[in-house]
Structure 1
């Protein structure tokens, strides 16, 4: 009686090659989304040569507690009023040296936009979404003032000019023209947004 043959074996020699090719395919074709961070310029490492004295009236303090409540200049404030309060502080112009400021010239508030600093402080338990919303309102105060001055000077919004200037696809001759305009408006209202150390209680 002839011997029965067993089931034919599958040649698995090329399975490793196929798996390797599939791995390469998925590595090449897969895109990984990355979170866009906050656009912030870090201060230089070296300390200033001389101590800078900052008057308390030139600091606009914004505190966020763990419940998301705002304490602005030691007073409770709703988020809706934060941007206008920050704008009033930035363009107060108490020392009279700012000829483009439309502020009240309150002697108890900031002297000049170049001296005005906004200090943002939050609790460790503050929600991230609340923190970002408050920060957006403060940056929005700077942008609104810059847009106003850019419209007066150049007939365009500052945010639009800055976006075009920072776009790498913008032709170099256009970027060169925008560079001085963007810097001029930035110098009128320099963004001095200080993030104070997080409180633990």
Structure 2
């Protein structure tokens, strides 16, 4: 009589190898999303200058409370009006030394764009979205003025020139030409956006 065999056995000896290969595959092919932060380039650390006094009129104060309300120059302000007020401050040219400024030349406001500082302060409970929106409006004020001067001097927007200059795929010959132009426009309206306490005088 023939001997009846048991159920066929499954060879599981290589299962560990297969699992390891699958693990490697998924690790290599999976992309991990990362949170995007603020696109800010911090200035280099420089030794503090002694006896630097900044006139109060050269500081444009923006405060955000925990409810998201804006207090601009001690006045409750809507977000939609923030950029306009910032532009008026930066473009004021109060001391008459700015020959490209088109502001009111109010002697109680900023003397010159190179001296104008925007001071942003917020409550610890301020919503992140509100903070980012306010930052965007203030940076937008700088870009609007820079675009105006870039159009006057070079016939194109500063934001386009800067994007092309920062693009690593831009040929070096074009980047070399853009470097001086971008720097010149930045010097006309230097972005001085501070979130620190500033020593002031009247």
* TM-score for the superposition, normalised by structure 1: 0.93
Match of 1:92 in 2: 92
SS of the residue corresponding to residue 38 of structure 1 reads coil
Distance in 2 separating the partners of 1:74 and 1:49: 29
Match of 2:47 in 1: 47
Match of 1:27 in 2: 27
Query: Deviation at 1:62?
Result: 0.3
Distance in 2 separating the partners of 1:76 and 1:38: 26
Query: Is 1:166 aligned to 2:162, yes or no?
Result: no
Query: Deviation at 1:7?
Result: 2.5
Distance in 1 separating the partners of 2:26 and 2:173: 41
Query: Deviation at 1:53?
Result: 1.0
Match of 1:128 in 2: 128
Q: In angstroms, what is the RMSD of aligned CA positions? A: 1.5
Distance 1:180 1:46, change over 3 A: closer
Match of 1:111 in 2: 111
Query: Deviation at 1:2?
Result: 7.0
Distance in 2 separating the partners of 1:46 and 1:4: 89
Q: Structure 1 residue runs of 4+, over 6 Å off?
A: none
Distance in 1 separating the partners of 2:185 and 2:45: 27
Distance in 1 separating the partners of 2:181 and 2:24: 48
Distance in 1 separating the partners of 2:32 and 2:51: 46
* TM-score for the superposition, normalised by structure 2: 0.92
Distance in 2 separating the partners of 1:36 and 1:185: 27
Query: Deviation at 1:56?
Result: 0.8
Query: Is 1:142 aligned to 2:142, yes or no?
Result: yes
Query: Is 1:182 aligned to 2:186, yes or no?
Result: no
Match of 1:61 in 2: 61
Q: Deviations for 1:121-173, whole angstroms, at most 9, x for unmatched residues?
A: 11111111111001000000000000000000000000000000000000000
The count of residues paired between Structure 1 and Structure 2 equals: 197
Distance in 2 separating the partners of 1:67 and 1:153: 42
Q: Deviations for 1:35-89, whole angstroms, at most 9, x for unmatched residues?
A: 3321223243343242321111111000001111000000000001000000000
Higher RCO, 1 vs 2 (CA within 8 Å, ≥6 residues apart): 2
Distance in 2 separating the partners of 1:45 and 1:106: 33
Query: Is 1:196 aligned to 2:170, yes or no?
Result: no
Which consecutive residues of structure 1, in runs of 5 or more, have no partner in the other structure? none
